[in-house]
């Protein structure tokens, strides 16, 4: 489509509600008479090169959906009755300001939780509001063990002093045509199915692009997927045993001497300690633990280690494994001892583009934004910080399992309110969901910021504020590349951006904010300063900018002194080396070397439980039509997947007398949930696989139905708290023991 004849084109870098994802694709929005008439992938944007997913293409249905919340709402009746009345923004802000100031006065700012779901562009505004208000409790409420990227980020930061991603030329403007780039010989894909997801600043199809050019993939996944069926090696492990497998691969690579000896000698610390530790994990022993044949472990390790250049890509299954921070550490050691660090086609250092912070990932960034004094003060008060040193020292998140327990028990101090922004814990991420429901029901004041009603807004919110999609707001993004902006193309109802809402409130709750910035645009421009850019400049140049040569762009920055603050060659770690024996973990009272432990509720640790509930359930599988608990009301998307399914191996189904397409209960000590049976050999007979985030917008929202959340929300069967000593990782989403029973005839 072309602009003209009353049609205006807006170029945007997506990162927000509407599509819902962590990607940063470029989209072109066509607007006529103030309405979005068409969306197309932007072929000039280096990130996605014109490609789009189904959710992006369904944006119009999302934006103009009849159920969209387009004005602020106040609860009119008891919580859960589903009665709300529209109010003005002034009344909404005045009420919230009065309530939050009152709670801070009486109980302290820490007694309000600032709850977000998966990042998107909300991480910036919500941490901004929490810190402006003075609360240390910014939290991904419900996400047990913070088991989404944080454990992997923690491990990378401890090992390399920086974050890493698989190199698919994404940091280079000319992409695959850049002469510096070399296609990886191998990509090790661990616990993730890239094509249907754009996880954490990474476009899943980049791996497919590389495969088309001859790159081989090694997949670690309990399931068969599109990618495992095209893999050189598929390591189909028992769910939750990722740590043992990584240590087994390290054992092979070290004992066969196929690691990069020169790189290890020059750039790594603690190799001898690691070598000693992995002797406990022979391929034969690991085969017994994981169910992956020893010879497959050996040949996959050889393929990875002997590759000229190999990238490492991974997913949430690493975080949810027991001791996720340690499992992630073991996998980073595979990247390190094979010398695949910051080389073309290897695993490259990833820093927010141009050094611009849009969403603080590290304590350093929080200090830069909010000052050491405030960060230290809040570190001491944060829920979980006194129990887990990693919670105190890394990232500035409250520990989610302890946060919900504080709501119920008042330990370490009473929680009186919650600010819930574009997340739906009851319908999505919350393990032991009934516990979350009861604990949150007891709070004095709850505000939800969202685009549609969902089980969480309906059951809990006193005030609901209407959030904008990416096409309706200004925001910015630097995760990882390009540095991008989203410009506001249309206005829907009275919806506001998360930045606009939080900026207004932060200014009301902390007058200093108004002295520093007069508007969201000023705040954004102040953050873009270090890039020598402004919002308008980025819009002029197509809404994005790639990082210049230097610390934000590969390759071999460790050799060029571009990583350490002192400019000396090396890594940004306490020792300046890659720490295989981690001084940072030691400082967090975590074992400085990787180790393996069985899932706490798994069939090995709890055989009696497995007796009763013999199947291991993995939940959280991605469906390209939905983003977590979103998009079930979008016609184009829902018609393609009208019901929640459960993958059952045909032999298991036969044993239980279950037929394809019939309704079953998935059941355990936590309760039971409905699913439609899908007989499939993608899973092994002793496990089942199902999606999370299911509730039904077409059902009654008021309680007790609550959009069918108690019938379909799978994470209510997942026990808590997290299964990890660091406080991060170990959310039991992929290692829950269950049984299947047939539903009575006609049940649904
Ligand atoms: S999932 Fe990918 S294509 Fe879809 S909106 Fe996100 S980044 Fe764009």
CA distance 485 to 499: 13
pLDDT in tens, 684-716: 999 999 999 999 999 999 999 999 999 999 999
Largest Cα–Cα separation, the chain? 71
Residue 12 CB less than 6 A away from ligand 1:
no
CA distance 264 to 271: 7
Map residue 743 onto helix, strand or coil.
coil
pLDDT score of 747 = 62
**Closest by alpha carbon to 290, among 238, 326, 327, 330?**
238
Residue 471 CB less than 6 A away from ligand 1:
no
Quick one: fold of 150-352+567-587? Dimethylsulfoxide Reductase; domain 2 (3.40.228)
CA distance 498 to 682: 40
Q: Residue 515 C-alpha to ligand 1 middle, in angstroms?
A: 37
Q: Residue 55 C-alpha to ligand 1 middle, in angstroms?
A: 8
CA distance 53 to 33: 26
Name the DSSP letter for residue 716: G
Per-residue H/E/C for 16-34:
CCCCCCCCCCEEEEEEECC
- Please count the helices (runs of H) and the strands (runs of E) in the chain: 28, 27
Which string of DSSP letters, residue by residue, matches 35-67? Answer: EEEEEEE-TT-TTTTT---HHHHTHHHHHT-TT
Nearest protein Cα to ligand 1, atom 7: 23
CA distance 70 to 63: 10
CA distance 322 to 594: 12
Nearest protein Cα to ligand 1, atom 4: 53
CA distance 648 to 444: 43
Give me the residues paired with residue 84 across strands: 75
Find where tokens 């900026």 sit: 503
Give me the residues paired with residue 73 across strands: 86, 464
Domain locations in the chain? 73-139+359-477+483-545, 150-352+567-587, 607-742
Q: Residue 12 C-alpha to ligand 1 middle, in angstroms?
A: 12
Find where tokens 């006609």 sit: 746
Report yes or no: 128 and 506 within 8 Å, Cβ to Cβ.
yes
CA distance 515 to 54: 43
Residue 527 CB less than 6 A away from ligand 1:
no
Q: Residue 25 C-alpha to ligand 1 middle, in angstroms?
A: 6
Contacts of 654 (CB under 8 A, 6+ apart): none
Residue 52 CB less than 6 A away from ligand 1:
yes
For the chain, the distance separating the N- and C-terminal CA atoms, rounded to the nearest angstrom, is: 44
- Helix ranges (H only) for 361-432 are 363-370, 372-381, 389-393, 400-409
Residue 23 CB less than 6 A away from ligand 1:
yes
Report yes or no: 221 and 569 within 8 Å, Cβ to Cβ.
no
Report yes or no: 591 and 283 within 8 Å, Cβ to Cβ.
no
Contacts of 329 (CB under 8 A, 6+ apart): 155, 158, 159, 582, 585, 594
Distance, CA of 619 to chain centre: 15
Peptide bond into 482 cis (omega under 30): yes
Find where tokens 């409905």 sit: 674
Map residue 740 onto helix, strand or coil.
strand
What is the rounded radius of gyration, in angstroms, for the C-alpha atoms of the chain? 25
Residue 198 CB less than 6 A away from ligand 1:
yes
Q: Residue 186 C-alpha to ligand 1 middle, in angstroms?
A: 25
CA distance 302 to 306: 6
Q: Do the bridges between strand 578-579 and strand 475-477 make them parallel or antiparallel, or are there none, so unpaired?
A: unpaired
Atom of ligand 1 nearest to the CA of 18: 5
Ligand 1 mutation pick, 53, 197, 482, max ligand atoms within 8 A of CB: 53
pLDDT score of 568 = 97
Helix (H) / strand (E) element for 663: namely strand 663-668
Residue 177, judged by CB atoms within 10 A of its CB (0-12, 13-18, 19+), counts as exposed
Neighbours of 671 (CB within 10 A): 15
Residue 129 CB less than 6 A away from ligand 1:
no
Q: Do the bridges between strand 615-619 and strand 687-690 make them parallel or antiparallel, or are there none, so unpaired?
A: parallel
Ligand 1 mutation pick, 15, 25, 118, max ligand atoms within 8 A of CB: 25
User: What does each C-alpha distance from 257 to 261, 268, 748 come to in angstroms?
Assistant: 8, 16, 57
CA distance 337 to 304: 11
CA distance 677 to 665: 9
Report yes or no: 395 and 119 within 8 Å, Cβ to Cβ.
no
CA distance 574 to 161: 8
CA distance 249 to 299: 9
pLDDT score of 245 = 98
User: What does each C-alpha distance from 14 to 60, 70, 473, 499 come to in angstroms?
Assistant: 15, 21, 11, 15
Find where tokens 């007790």 sit: 704
pLDDT score of 125 = 94
Share of residues in the chain with pLDDT > 90 (%): 89
Residue 415 CB less than 6 A away from ligand 1:
no
Report yes or no: 387 and 589 within 8 Å, Cβ to Cβ.
no
Q: 744-747: long-range contacts (C-beta < 8 A, 24 or more apart)?
A: 747/663, 747/674
Q: Which CATH architecture has domain 607-742?
A: Beta Barrel (2.40)
Find where tokens 């927000």 sit: 16
The beta strand positions in 199-244, using DSSP E, are: 216-220, 233-235
**Closest by alpha carbon to 534, among 483, 500, 497, 489?**
483
What would the two tokens of residue 40 be? 């197309």
Flag residues of the chain having pLDDT under 50. none
Residue 17 CB less than 6 A away from ligand 1:
no
CA angle 439–444–447, rounded 5-degree value? 90
What would the two tokens of residue 14 be? 């997506």
Contacts of 687 (CB under 8 A, 6+ apart): 222, 239, 615, 616, 617, 618, 649
Q: Residue 672 C-alpha to ligand 1 middle, in angstroms?
A: 33
CA distance 229 to 213: 17
Alpha-carbon torsion, ordered 458, 461, 465, 466, to 10 deg: -10
CA distance 688 to 686: 7
Residue 25 CB less than 6 A away from ligand 1:
yes
pLDDT score of 748 = 60
Residue 39 CB less than 6 A away from ligand 1:
no
Nearest protein Cα to ligand 1, atom 8: 25
Q: Do the bridges between strand 35-41 and strand 26-32 make them parallel or antiparallel, or are there none, so unpaired?
A: antiparallel
* Single pTM value for the model: 0.96
Atom of ligand 1 nearest to the CA of 19: 5
pLDDT score of 746 = 63
Asked: is 73-139+359-477+483-545 a CATH 3.40.50.740 domain? The reply is yes
């Amino acid at each position: 489509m072309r602009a003209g004849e009353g049609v205006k084109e807006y170029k945007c870098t997506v990162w927000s509600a509407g599509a819902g994802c962590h990607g940063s694709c470029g989209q072109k929005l066509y607007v006529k008479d103030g309405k979005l008439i068409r969306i197309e992938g932007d072929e000039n944007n280096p990130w996605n090169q014109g490609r789009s997913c189904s959710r992006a293409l369904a944006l119009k249905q999302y934006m103009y959906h009849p159920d969209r919340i387009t004005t602020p709402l106040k609860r009119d009746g008891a919580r859960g009755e589903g009665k709300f009345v529209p109010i003005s923004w002034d009344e909404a802000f005045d009420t919230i300001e009065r309530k939050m100031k009152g709670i801070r006065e009486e109980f302290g700012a820490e007694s309000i939780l600032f709850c977000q779901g998966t990042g998107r562009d909300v991480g910036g505004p919500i941490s901004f509001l929490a810190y402006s208000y003075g609360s240390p409790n910014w939290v991904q409420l419900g996400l047990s063990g913070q088991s989404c990227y944080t454990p992997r980020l923690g491990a990378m930061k401890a090992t390399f002093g920086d974050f890493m991603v698989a190199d698919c030329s994404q940091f280079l403007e000319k992409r695959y045509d850049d002469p510096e780039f070399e296609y990886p010989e191998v990509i090790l894909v661990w616990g993730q199915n890239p094509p249907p997801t754009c996880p954490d600043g990474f476009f899943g199809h980049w791996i497919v692009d590389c495969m088309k050019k001859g790159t081989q993939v090694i997949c670690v996944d309990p399931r068969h997927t599109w990618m495992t069926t095209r893999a050189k090696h598929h390591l189909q492990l028992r769910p939750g045993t990722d740590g043992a497998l990584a240590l087994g691969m390290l054992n092979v690579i070290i004992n066969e001497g196929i690691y990069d000896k020169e790189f290890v000698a020059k750039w790594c610390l603690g190799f001898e300690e690691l070598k000693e530790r992995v002797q406990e994990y022979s391929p034969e022993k690991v085969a017994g633990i994981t169910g992956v044949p020893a010879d497959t472990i050996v040949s996959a390790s050889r393929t990875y280690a002997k590759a000229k250049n190999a990238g490492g890509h991974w997913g949430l299954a690493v975080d949810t494994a027991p001791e996720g921070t340690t499992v992630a550490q073991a996998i980073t050691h595979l990247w390190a001892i094979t010398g695949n660090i910051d080389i073309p086609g290897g695993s490259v250092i990833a820093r927010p583009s141009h050094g611009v912070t849009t969403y603080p990932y590290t304590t350093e960034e929080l200090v830069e934004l909010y000052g050491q004094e405030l960060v230290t003060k809040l570190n001491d008060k944060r829920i979980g910080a006194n129990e887990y040193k990693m919670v105190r020292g890394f990232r500035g998140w409250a520990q989610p399992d302890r946060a919900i327990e504080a709501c119920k028990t008042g330990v370490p101090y009473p929680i009186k309110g919650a600010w819930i922004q574009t997340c739906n814990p009851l319908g999505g991420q919350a393990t032991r969901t009934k516990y979350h429901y009861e604990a949150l029901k007891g709070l004095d004041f709850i505000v939800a910021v969202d685009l549609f009603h969902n089980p969480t807004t309906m059951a809990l919110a006193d005030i609901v504020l209407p959030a904008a999609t990416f096409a309706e707001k200004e925001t910015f993004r630097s995760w990882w590349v390009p540095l991008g902006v989203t410009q506001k193309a249309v206005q829907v109802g009275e919806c506001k951006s998360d930045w606009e809402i939080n900026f207004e409130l932060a200014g009301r709750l902390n007058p200093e904010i108004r002295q520093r910035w007069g508007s969201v645009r000023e705040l954004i421009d102040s953050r873009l300063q270090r890039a020598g850019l402004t919002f308008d400049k980025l819009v002029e140049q197509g809404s994005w900018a790639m990082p210049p040569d230097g610390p934000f762009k590969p390759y071999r920055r460790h050799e060029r002194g571009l990583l350490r603050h002192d400019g000396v060659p090396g890594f940004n770690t306490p020792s300046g080396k890659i720490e295989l024996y981690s001084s940072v973990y030691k400082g967090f009272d975590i074992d400085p070397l990787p180790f393996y432990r069985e899932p706490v509720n798994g069939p090995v640790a709890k055989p009696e439980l497995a007796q009763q509930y013999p199947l291991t359930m993995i939940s959280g599988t991605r469906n390209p039509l939905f983003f977590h608990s979103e998009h079930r009301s979008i016609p184009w998307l829902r018609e393609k997947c009208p019901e929640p399914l459960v993958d059952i191996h045909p032999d298991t189904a036969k044993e239980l007398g279950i037929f394809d397409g019939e309704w079953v209960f998935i059941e355990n000590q936590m309760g039971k949930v409905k699913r439609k049976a899908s007989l499939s050999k993608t899973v092994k007979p002793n496990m089942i696989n199902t999606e999370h985030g299911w509730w039904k917008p077409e059902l009654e929202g008021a309680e007790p139905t609550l959009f069918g959340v108690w019938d379909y929300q799978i994470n209510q069967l997942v026990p808590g708290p997290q299964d990890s000593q660091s406080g991060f990782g170990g959310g039991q989403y992929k290692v829950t023991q269950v049984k299947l029973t047939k539903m009575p005839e006609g049940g649904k």
